[in-house]
Amino acid sequence: MNLSTGRALVAQGGGPTAVINQSLLGVVLGARKYPQITGIFGAVQGIQGIAEENLVDLTETDASELERVGATPASALRSTRIKPTPEICGRIFEVCKAHDVRYFFYIGGNDSADTCRIVQEEAEKGGYELRVAHVPKTIDNDLKVTDHCPGYGSAAKFVAQAFMGANLDNRSLPGVYIGIVMGRHAGFLTAAAALGRNIPDDGPHLVYVPEVTFSKEKFLDDVNRTHEKFGRCVIAVSEGITDDKGRPIVEQFTGGEKDAHGNIQLSGTGALGDLLSSWVRAGTSISRVRADTLGYLQRSFAGCVSEVDQTEAREVGEMAAKYAIGDNQDGSVAIRRIGDYAVEYFLTPLESVARESKSMPKEFINKDGNDVTQAFLEYARPLAGPLPTMAPLSAPAVNKILDA
Amino acid sequence: MNLSTGRALVAQGGGPTAVINQSLLGVVLGARKYPQITGIFGAVQGIQGIAEENLVDLTETDASELERVGATPASALRSTRIKPTPEICGRIFEVCKAHDVRYFFYIGGNDSADTCRIVQEEAEKGGYELRVAHVPKTIDNDLKVTDHCPGYGSAAKFVAQAFMGANLDNRSLPGVYIGIVMGRHAGFLTAAAALGRNIPDDGPHLVYVPEVTFSKEKFLDDVNRTHEKFGRCVIAVSEGITDDKGRPIVEQFTGGEKDAHGNIQLSGTGALGDLLSSWVRAGTSISRVRADTLGYLQRSFAGCVSEVDQTEAREVGEMAAKYAIGDNQDGSVAIRRIGDYAVEYFLTPLESVARESKSMPKEFINKDGNDVTQAFLEYARPLAGPLPTMAPLSAPAVNKILDA
């Protein structure tokens, strides 16, 4: 046990998830178990809030209030997308020192893990004892080392249910339906569109992920073939699909807005869906073509949470407190899948998670590059949890009299 | 009681809803109570299916299967958007005669009510005894006479939960968020975005419905003022908003595809959201602007149903059977609200519901034309039913040390 007495500081970074506040709850209640913790601060708006000394005191927040906050989607401490420059990381270290923070918990994705790594290095250079724990969170499910990421299961459940409904809607009013799903580099969330398939003609009939180079010609071939077979076609497309030169397909529609990390804006616009629709209209004889962009709903819709995801999001927070405070170790909390289905947690070095991200393994994508495999469905089903039961109507046809 | 022995025929028309199959279930189980019913047929793809004699036999479908189908969103018998021309209505009448159909049930909106009216006229002209019942259904909630329409409550619940999440997401990563909601002429569904508001800074902060002429200048003023006040702005916009000449705002972006009723395509495209985003980017100094188009999710998302809506959708089906078969009357089933909250059903003439639609009453829209009123919230809350509980985090600020 680390006997260095001091405060804990917790922050949330990047895009919110439906269960990110469970991790906050886990860190706060986890930290309270240790007598060397003299107080628990939260940073408002992530590392930006720390840099601006914009902190709140969670030391005495009631557990019942924290439980209610935990059940609420989107970062309760607010978030930020600012880039952790060396200046900002230096400043974070200074603020920690000034406020006697000895344990820093950052809930976020690979950018946040990198921030953790840099802050820890700064502290070490400055001879200041600071334990830094990265608490994994991302709907993209693209963190390295861990089997999967808290936040993914709930988003996957939302995407699955969205496509279950869209599939039935498309069966009742046939045509081509394109649903654009979040995921800049990794197709895990788009792939989840297939989780609700049940009977043979259920969509999505085609799934396009960023791991596979997107070809307009192949896409139109796929759509035509599927439409001929089923009289309709439901398609899940990742916002991050790229052409053979690695350029985002959406760039063919718009120059796009870039964020602080230099990433082009993919979400919050219907551009990609409308582009693909126009291709189908021009390149096939199908007249009814519709595109939805699932947008922000998939990461923050109120009332669609995977129970497994909720539990694990809380546990990674609690484990982070245990590793950092109880065991005096820096690192990122990771999940190992054991059995079918249970998990155990372990600590992985910050640098093993920082910066780089993970793509879908090849065995999750079919040979044609336009669907997922059974291996993916088995991987993702326990994460999204049970889905609603949908039943088609089967009834015998009536013999024609007039046209007989 | 009508003693004319014969078959019942049921069809579903127009856009699906999350509970339209409850009405199907209600009609089928309701009709089975009457000894003069010799069989129950379903039309595949609405009036198109009848015209093509594409019928299925539901006479012996197990009630347990029907219950499962009832819990499934989107028209189980499939649907159609074809216009009921005099030829098609004449053909429907012929098919009814050929198959000894004496009771015709059509689940749909005002177009479907009009079809019912024409088919009944044809039967009367032809001296064929045919009872015709319109079973109300529409997420737009725009049918005349009835207090509200089955299908609306579940869609309203979805829209409310979508904006609850979007509001929290926008609070954690501030900027302007625009959510485009279905509703060509009536703003009821867009207005439902406000149902989840709880604390003073909760969005949507602005709500634009088709009942109020949309002005770009006023919109930008509203956005600027709201953004100054809250540091962010969440906006619900109906897809059907029009300018002072009655032209859809979306036409300024695209020519648009027209359906068989001559209506311009509003859904299944991100055009309006992207247009409004570009206006905010160009007309204000706000940099982070995002737009989502809720699209088909709002009418068919699997797993988001209002219980009240589900019950009422089933009951209007059962009442349709009672009125048509038990009472030998033509008409459209309507809902009267009694107390707070209960309903009773009554029959209204087909012509009172056919063709024309209802707009939001003035008392549901605020004076500025950019929000809903308390009267609307009281009207809509029982229809959407309970929403998830969301809790903000409140914690005392920590005194600054470095910047003190």
pLDDT in tens, B42-99: 999 999 999 999 999 999 999 999 999 999 999 999 998 888 888 898 899 899 999 9
Question: How far is residue B48's CA from residue B44's CA, in Å, rounded to a whole number?
Answer: 8
DSSP state of B357: -
What digits encode the pLDDT tens for the residues B105-146?
Answer: 999 999 999 999 999 998 999 899 999 999 999 999 999 999
Identify residue A398 by its one-letter amino acid code. V
> Two tokens at A74?
């989107």
Give the pLDDT mean for A342-364.
Answer: 96
CB atoms A74 and B165 under 8 Å: yes
CB atoms B289 and A295 under 8 Å: no
End-to-end CA distance of chain B: 84
CB atoms A297 and B294 under 8 Å: yes
Q: Is A396 helix (H, G, I), strand (E, B) or coil?
A: coil
> Domain spanning B153-303+360-384 has what CATH number?
3.40.50.460
**Buried-exposed string A142-160: b where 16+ CB fall within 10 A, e elsewhere:** bbbbbebbbbbbbbbbbbb
Which has more confidence, B262 or B333? B333
What is the reported pLDDT for A265?
A: 58
Please choose, from the candidates A59, A60, A70, the residue with its C-alpha nearest in 3D space to the C-alpha of residue A12.
Answer: A70
Question: How far is residue A88's CA from residue A357's CA, in Å, rounded to a whole number?
Answer: 23
Indicate if the pLDDT at residue B256 is higher than 50: no
Question: How far is residue A203's CA from residue B86's CA, in Å, rounded to a whole number?
Answer: 36
Q: What is the DSSP string of B281-327?
A: HHHSS---EEEEE-TTHHHH-TT---HHHHHHHHHHHHHHHIIIIIS
**Looking at the partner chain, which of B301, B387, B395 has a beta carbon nearest the beta carbon of A162?**
B301
Residue A152 pLDDT level (bands cut at 50, 70, 90)? very high
Please choose, from the candidates A7, A14, A35, the residue with its C-alpha nearest in 3D space to the C-alpha of residue A299.
Answer: A14
Give the pLDDT mean for B151-155.
Answer: 98
> Two tokens at B315?
């009951």
CB atoms A98 and B301 under 8 Å: no
Question: How far is residue B104's CA from residue B129's CA, in Å, rounded to a whole number?
Answer: 11
Count how many Cα atoms sit within 13 Å of the Cα of residue B333 in the half-sphere of its side chain. 32
What is the reported pLDDT for B316?
A: 98
Catalytic positions of A, written as ranges: 140
Give the pLDDT mean for B288-310.
Answer: 95
Cross-strand pairs, A134: A106, A332
What digits encode the pLDDT tens for the residues A185-215?
Answer: 999 999 999 999 999 999 999 999 999 999 9
What is the reported pLDDT for A264?
A: 56
Measured CA to CA in angstroms, residue A228 lies from A133, A194, A214, A221, A286 at distances of: 53, 20, 21, 11, 10
CB atoms B71 and A389 under 8 Å: yes
Q: Identify the residue whose tokens are 């070809």.
A: A215
Please choose, from the candidates A182, A204, A236, A166, the residue with its C-alpha nearest in 3D space to the C-alpha of residue A18.
Answer: A182
> Two tokens at A257?
């807005």
Nearest residue on chain B to A59, judged by CA atoms?
B395
Indicate if the pLDDT at residue B323 is higher than 60: yes
Residue A392 phi, psi dihedral angles, 5° rounding: -80, 160
> Two tokens at B211?
């009942």
Which residues of chain A does B165 touch, with a Cβ-Cβ cutoff of 8 Å?
18, 73-74, 296-297, 300-302
Residue A255 pLDDT level (bands cut at 50, 70, 90)? very low
Helix ranges (H only) for B5-125 are 20-31, 46-51, 63-70, 86-98, 110-125
Same fold, B6-150+305-352 and B153-303+360-384: yes
> Two tokens at B261?
């009723």
Handedness of CA A121, A126, A127, A128 (dihedral sign): negative
Q: CB-based burial of residue A403 (10 Å sphere; 0-12 exposed, 13-18 middle, 19+ buried)?
A: exposed
Task: Report angle CA A8, A317, A383 to the nearest 5 degrees.
Answer: 165
Please choose, from the candidates B402, B379, B381, B44, the residue with its C-alpha nearest in 3D space to the C-alpha of residue A395.
Answer: B44
Identify residue A208 by its one-letter amino acid code. Y
> Domain spanning A152-303+360-384 has what CATH number?
3.40.50.460
**Looking at the partner chain, which of A53, A295, A402 has a beta carbon nearest the beta carbon of B95?**
A402
Nearest residue on chain B to A76, judged by CA atoms?
B393
- Give domain limits for chain B: 6-150+305-352, 153-303+360-384
Residue B255 pLDDT level (bands cut at 50, 70, 90)? very low
Mean pLDDT of all residues belonging to chain B = 93
Q: Are the CB atoms for A37 and A325 separated by under 8 Å?
A: yes
Indicate if the pLDDT at residue B231 is higher than 50: yes
Interface test with A, best of B139, B398, B399, B401 (most A CBs within 10 A): B398
Interface test with B, best of A234, A398, A399 (most B CBs within 10 A): A398
Indicate if the pLDDT at residue B400 is higher than 50: yes
CB atoms A402 and B94 under 8 Å: yes
Please choose, from the candidates B48, B249, B50, the residue with its C-alpha nearest in 3D space to the C-alpha of residue B130.
Answer: B50
DSSP state of A326: I
CB atoms A297 and B299 under 8 Å: no
Give the pLDDT mean for A147-167.
Answer: 98
Identify the helix (H) or strand (E) that includes residue B236.
Answer: strand B233-238
**Looking at the partner chain, which of B52, B289, B388 has a beta carbon nearest the beta carbon of A303?**
B388
Q: What share of chain A is helix, strand, coil (3-state, %, to 5)?
A: 40, 20, 45
Measured CA to CA in angstroms, residue B52 lies from A396, A401, B89, B96, B261 at distances of: 16, 11, 12, 12, 20
Strands A233-238 and A131-136: unpaired
- Lowest-confidence segment of A270-274, A323-327, A383-387 by average pLDDT: A270-274
Q: Are the CB atoms for A47 and A16 separated by under 8 Å?
A: no
Q: Is B135 helix (H, G, I), strand (E, B) or coil?
A: strand
Which residues of chain A does B391 touch, with a Cβ-Cβ cutoff of 8 Å?
65, 68-69, 71-72
Which residues of chain A does B293 touch, with a Cβ-Cβ cutoff of 8 Å?
270, 292-293, 295
Nearest residue on chain B to A46, judged by CA atoms?
B172
Identify residue B86 by its one-letter amino acid code. P
> Two tokens at A3?
């006997």
Complex prediction ipTM: 0.94
Measured CA to CA in angstroms, residue B11 lies from B5, B111, B307 at distances of: 20, 13, 23
CB atoms B169 and A267 under 8 Å: no
What is the reported pLDDT for B258?
A: 52
Give the pLDDT mean for B366-373.
Answer: 98
> Domain spanning B6-150+305-352 has what CATH number?
3.40.50.450
Indicate if the pLDDT at residue A257 is higher than 70: no
What digits encode the pLDDT tens for the residues A75-86?
Answer: 999 998 888 888
- Lowest-confidence segment of A269-278, A327-336, B196-205 by average pLDDT: A269-278
Least Cα separation, residue B113 to chain A (angstroms): 19
Strands B176-181 and A331-338: unpaired
Residues 6+ apart with CB under 8 A from A337: A147, A148, A343
Identify residue B219 by its one-letter amino acid code. F
Give the pLDDT mean for A44-71.
Answer: 96
This prediction's pTM:
0.95
Residues 6+ apart with CB under 8 A from B224: B284
E strands, A109-252, in order: 131-136, 176-181, 206-208, 233-238
Task: Report angle CA B386, B390, B391 to the nearest 5 degrees.
Answer: 140
Q: Are the CB atoms for A146 and A52 separated by under 8 Å?
A: no
Please choose, from the candidates A192, A174, A294, the residue with its C-alpha nearest in 3D space to the C-alpha of residue A234.
Answer: A174
Please choose, from the candidates A78, A73, A67, the residue with its C-alpha nearest in 3D space to the C-alpha of residue A151.
Answer: A73
What is the reported pLDDT for A84?
A: 83
Give the pLDDT mean for B32-51.
Answer: 96
**Buried-exposed string B167-182: b where 16+ CB fall within 10 A, e elsewhere:** bbbbbbbbbbbbbbbb
DSSP state of B145: S
Count how many Cα atoms sit within 13 Å of the Cα of residue B96 in the half-sphere of its side chain. 30
What is the reported pLDDT for B6?
A: 96
What is the reported pLDDT for B187?
A: 98
What digits encode the pLDDT tens for the residues A298-319?
Answer: 999 999 999 999 999 999 999 9
